[in-house]
Structure 1
């Protein structure tokens, strides 16, 4: 049976803040087409690990590979713009004074500029308009395209942020605490969006809502004190007594 090359892999990746070891020699792989959940108690190192993957932090040791190419020292904008790693933040990073459509346009222009650089201006405008409409429709915000982003509910702002991430046409979409502040109905809508996104992109989900994690994830990685405590399917993690004692409770 052929071995599948991971989309993303880290090898002994570490990050120290003075005497604090936030991420401790982590070997981590995400495979193409999967929805991978990264869970663990507060302070486990989840966001630090993701910031290392995205290039927002420099590792203290170890290496990071994306599509088989080492990206350990590539800056964040190169990982996002050229490599296809999109990261939606734990705190919404939308432009509140702009419309929903304009927010998505800012993200879409970056990816479309690469794909359509030889087209006429008219064709580029048409492609941008189509991309904005498609991304807003995917997250259920098509009817709010002209609304100022700041006027959206918090849950809809999170969905707008996902639309902005999708507009980058990522190979890897990283969602950091995306359901925080969402109502039950918005969480259900979000889950449908993620399942649809997984048809086109790989998803790395950092999430505390275990119902969401168990419903969406193909595999789960549990971090504890900056190191991997366990990995496996939702069923494996649910049955793991070490994880239950450290995090899930039983």
Structure 2
């Protein structure tokens, strides 16, 4: 199968800090891939390079056969890459509906009617369970609901690659179960790249896991392979499981 996304020798340095250091990475269409690792491992910097928030110091990024290394972020969105941020970035003074209607409008090439925008926005809100809160001001929503609103904003772009940075942070146990079901449903139409610290969520969703440490990929494999990897246990899983306990 031809990869949807590949990086070769991808690096990003901030002064003497090698936040991402010579990363080779490949993601297949339709995959749910989890990226895990300790804080400061380079996970968010890596996905920021993929979506165009940062320019790489060196290396290349190819999406669906096209070199996008120098492509601006807004053009990557048009190619089908959507990213929800680690820190919630909704428009607090707008309604939940208006937050989602804005990205819907970007997907409409013809017939930018109110009806088409409303249908797209309400479909995205319905998928994340927020249709009943459509006209509430986004800034008044609970933090977990703001996280779900961000997912709805990403879905409204009809992405081919949806990058989710800690989407379950702030969600209740019931909302996490609903998110797992939602992610599986999204994966029928899109590829998901998931940064997540909640190990039960990672193990439930990911077919493969990439473990970052000190800006590099320490290990890759199935959930079972990662669970059994001694280096991963030492660098991350042991401390992550202790934190959850």
SS in 2 for 1:44: coil
| C-alpha distance in structure 2 between counterparts of 1:146 and 1:139, whole Å | 15
**1:156-215 Cα shifts (integer Å, max 9, x gaps):** 111011000000010000000111121211211211111111111100000111111001
| Counterpart position of 1:96 | 92
**1:80-111 Cα shifts (integer Å, max 9, x gaps):** 1x211000001111111111111100111001
Where do 4+ consecutive residues of structure 1 move more than 4 Å? none
| Counterpart position of 1:225 | 214
SS in 2 for 1:126: helix
SS in 2 for 1:237: helix
TM-score of the aligned structures, taking structure 2 as reference length: 0.95
Q: Is 1:84 aligned with 2:89? A: no
**1:89-143 Cα shifts (integer Å, max 9, x gaps):** 011111111111111001110012x3xx2x3x5xx32221111111111001111
Q: Is 1:169 aligned with 2:169? A: no
| Counterpart position of 1:107 | 103
TM-score of the aligned structures, taking structure 1 as reference length: 0.93
| Counterpart position of 2:175 | 186
| C-alpha distance in structure 2 between counterparts of 1:132 and 1:48, whole Å | 29
What is the deviation of 1:241? 1.1
| Counterpart position of 1:243 | 232
Using the TM superposition, name which of 231-240 and 178-187 deviates more.
Answer: 178-187
Q: Within 5 A, what are the aligned runs for 1:136-155?
A: 136-155=125-144
Between the two proteins, the alignment pairs up a number of residues equal to 239
CA RMSD in angstroms, aligned pairs only: 1.1
| Counterpart position of 1:9 | 6
SS in 2 for 1:22: strand
Match of 1:49 among 46, 49, 53: 46
| Counterpart position of 2:65 | 68
Q: Give the unaligned 5+ runs of structure 2.
A: none
Q: Within 5 A, what are the aligned runs for 1:114-125?
A: 114=109, 117=110, 119=111, 124-125=113-114
| Counterpart position of 1:195 | 184
| C-alpha distance in structure 2 between counterparts of 1:204 and 1:228, whole Å | 15
